[in-house]
A = this chain, B = another copy of it.
Amino acid sequence: MDTEIANLLGALSLAVMDRIEHGAREVIGRGGETPAALVVIGYGEGMTNEKLRRILGLSHSGTVRLVDRLVSDQLVERRPGDDAREVALHLTPKGAATRKELMASRISAVASLLNVLSPTETKRLGTLIRDLLVRQDTSEMDRFTICRMCDDRVCTRCPLPTSKGKRAR
């Protein structure tokens, strides 16, 4: 049955996320979308509260408070944006270092599950996941959401389609 394979992927995904979240909590001492926020803010210099909100899928106030936490942990700075309404979020040096730790922890968490496969099997799995992702019908915002924990030093060729089907709002 096809549902059997769906169940296996669900179980694997749960195991992977359990390990990722456990590691993230050890690194930054916070849970929820906080680690993802740090990664997302690090992708570029133009991140605003509102973009972050959409990527993380949180309410507005939830995002403001999340940034409050990052600021009080001295990981992020709020600077005035080009548009005077916007807040430009920037990583502090400590924030950039923590972000690297976070991503390294994530990769090693996944690798610890993955390393039971032979190099050939791993490559096969990689190809299948890549094919699976490349065929998803994702908006621009969906891409950022899926990639909100991704290690940009590692993911040089993101398979997710850029402008296919749905349009970002």
Contact = CB atoms under 8 A, between A and B. Distances in A.
A125 to B, nearest CB: 5
Contacts of A15: 146
A88 interface: no
Contacts of A119: 2
B110 A4 contact: no
**A-B interface, 9 closest residue pairs, ranked by CB to CB distance from nearest:** A5-B126, A13-B16, A116-B135, A13-B13, A6-B110, A6-B111, A8-B129, A7-B154, A125-B128
Interface string A1-33: 111111111111111111010000000000000
A133 interface: yes
22 contacts: A2-B111, A2-B114, A3-B107, A4-B154, A5-B114, A5-B125, A6-B154, A7-B154, A10-B109, A11-B146, A11-B149, A12-B129, A13-B14, A13-B16, A14-B148, A18-B57, A116-B135, A117-B131, A121-B131, A124-B124, A125-B132, A128-B128
A61 interface: no
A48 B169 CA distance: 47
A106 B7 CA distance: 8
Contacts of A129: 5, 8-9, 12, 125
A107 B9 CA distance: 9
Interface residues of A, number: 55
A136 interface: yes
A149 B10 contact: yes
Nearest to A117: B132
B114 A9 contact: yes
Given A2-B111, A10-B110, A13-B17, 5 more contacts: A7-B107, A7-B151, A9-B113, A117-B135, A125-B125
